[in-house]
Amino acid sequence: MLTKRIVPCLDIKNGRTVKGVNFVDLRDAGDPVELAAIYAKTGADELVFLDISATEERRKTLADLVRNVAKEVNIPFTVGGGISSVEDVDILLQNGADKVSVNSSAVKRPELVNELSAKFGSQCITVAIDAKQIDGEWIVHLVGGKVPTELNLFNWAKEVEQRGAGEILFTSMNNDGTKNGFANEALARLSSELNIPIIASGGAGNMQHFVDTFKEGKADAALAASVFHFKEIAIPELKEKLKSEGIAVRL
């Protein structure tokens, strides 16, 4: 049985880890290199490092920060933000990233997913999808959730899987930062319709939310930020809770 993964997310702006609610009202959560080292030592299965202002500000992810984080961790490490070419990915992987996450650039030019998968292998390519439920339909948004598209979450997820994505990181904008739980209904549908791993993101507030997203949402991994950054949930205790609920985890 494949173990379920716990994935702290480091949202980076101007070199610092930040966290907001519904993608806004950001507050400082600490030094990303220090946080990464702590998570690697306390049982995180993977890390995701998102330069949340890279796309908006039309600049590239900070490769030197990636390099510094990579020196401190011995677990897989995904990097996203402002990635729009094979060259961008090459630089990040050379600096220590294990995987990359693409979002806005893939929507603007879907062939990018094909190119990255062909060059680096699908196991390296995560497609992040930020979506908001509006009048019952999940609509994909871009640029840190600021720009709505005409894309439907499920159709877009299927397309990027066909183009070579190795996993989907789905963030529910409705749930993000609310601590009311993950969007399990949408997650379960993604898991049933796709054949690649789905990472749940947006809404973690307590340990039961993780239990629910693995059981009800059928997620392969659960990503969270503030509950870990502000020490509301300790990863070792979370994993013991998951194990007690019959969920396979790496202890």
For 221: left if phi > 0, alpha if psi spans -120 to 50, otherwise beta; the answer is beta
Catalytic residues: 11, 130
Q: Is 30 within 8 Å of 17 (Cβ atoms)?
A: yes
Burial per residue of 236-250, b for 16 or more beta-carbon CB atoms within 10 angstroms, e otherwise: eebbebbeeeebebe
Instruction: List % helix, strand, coil for the chain (3-state, nearest 5).
Output: 35, 30, 35
- Write out 88-154 in H/E/C secondary structure: HHHHHHHCCCCEEEECHHHHHCCHHHHHHHHHHCHHHEEEEEEEEEECCEEEEEECCCCEEEEEEHH
Q: Is 184 helix (H, G, I), strand (E, B) or coil?
A: helix
In this structure, which amino acid lies at residue 39?
A: Y
Q: Is 75 helix (H, G, I), strand (E, B) or coil?
A: coil
Q: Is 53 within 8 Å of 75 (Cβ atoms)?
A: no
